Amino acid sequence: HEDESKSNSPSLVTKVPLTTAKSKGSGWMDAETKKMLWKCKSKGKMLKNYSVVTLGEDKDTDPIAAIITVKSSMNSITNIICKTEPTFDDHEPLSEEQLKKAGITDADTKLYPFSKLSTKRQLSTAHSTYYLITGKDEEKELYVGDKLSALGYMAIFKDAKGTVVGKAATHGVQFSPTLEAAIGVDLLAIVCMGLSMASNDSAGALAGAGVI
């Protein structure tokens, strides 16, 4: 990865030419090593929910990120991934009003918007774009994803230069996707994109894939 500060966590950036990840229980694992990469747990109440991401097997470790839906309609959704520490100068955390809107009742919580993904779906296809938040009202496109019209689920992910960096697909009738990613790819970013192209309900998509 040319700059791991662009990733949700350096440990979730692929280090080998081909990494295969699979959903397992409440998280995702490296299919070759069987090592749990992260777990995700839904929080909040109906219509006001968010998800917290922790590394490895232990759900009780400090979360590295929170995934929040900020806008949704029948065929589109916008999520932000927040970190617990600022990532650029004068980085403002979410306001108390924004926290409440997400279902976070602890006003002392500090969450800093780190990245954003915007997804639009058609009848059998979808398109998602993942942005790094680099400053106030400043974003940098990192990845784009396209869900293809196919039986089951199939998607292709590219970097901002148009190079294919990942592919995701389901096998059989159950929604249990497998992701293949090239070196230097933020796995959490790609998985969030892929799942948002499968369902308009971010938390529901994560749960449906065995992430929650």
Q: What pLDDT score was predicted for residue 48? A: 58
CA 182 to chain centre: 17
18-27, 141-150, 192-201: least confident range? 192-201
The residue among 80 and 44 whose pLDDT is bigger is 80
Confidence class of residue 41 from pLDDT cuts 50, 70 and 90?
confident
Does residue 36 have a pLDDT over 50? yes
Conformation bin of residue 160: beta by default, left when phi > 0, alpha when psi is -120 to 50: alpha
Rounded CA gap, 190 and 28, in Å? 12
Does residue 211 have a pLDDT over 50? no
What would the mean pLDDT of 185-211 be, rounded to a whole number? 70
The per-residue pLDDT of the chain, averaged, comes to 86
Cβ neighbours of residue 7 under 8 Å, at least 6 residues apart? 1, 13, 186, 188, 189
Does residue 83 have a pLDDT over 80? yes
Summarize pLDDT for 163-188 with one digit per residue, the tens: 999 999 987 666 678 999 999 999 99
Question: What percentage of the chain exceeds 70 in pLDDT?
Answer: 86
Rounded CA gap, 209 and 212, in Å? 8
Summarize pLDDT for 86-124 with one digit per residue, the tens: 999 999 999 999 998 888 888 789 999 999 999 999 989
Q: What pLDDT score was predicted for residue 72? A: 86
Q: Name the residue with tokens 């932000």.
A: 80
- How many CA within 13 A on the CB side of residue 48? 11
The residue among 100 and 145 whose pLDDT is bigger is 145
Summarize pLDDT for 45-68 with one digit per residue, the tens: 655 568 889 998 766 678 899 999
Does residue 10 have a pLDDT over 80? yes
Rounded CA gap, 183 and 14, in Å? 5
Confidence class of residue 4 from pLDDT cuts 50, 70 and 90?
confident
25-34, 86-95, 121-130, 193-202: least confident range? 193-202
Q: What does DSSP assign to residue 186?
A: B
Cβ neighbours of residue 198 under 8 Å, at least 6 residues apart? 126, 147, 153, 175, 205, 208, 209
Q: What pLDDT score was predicted for residue 107? A: 79
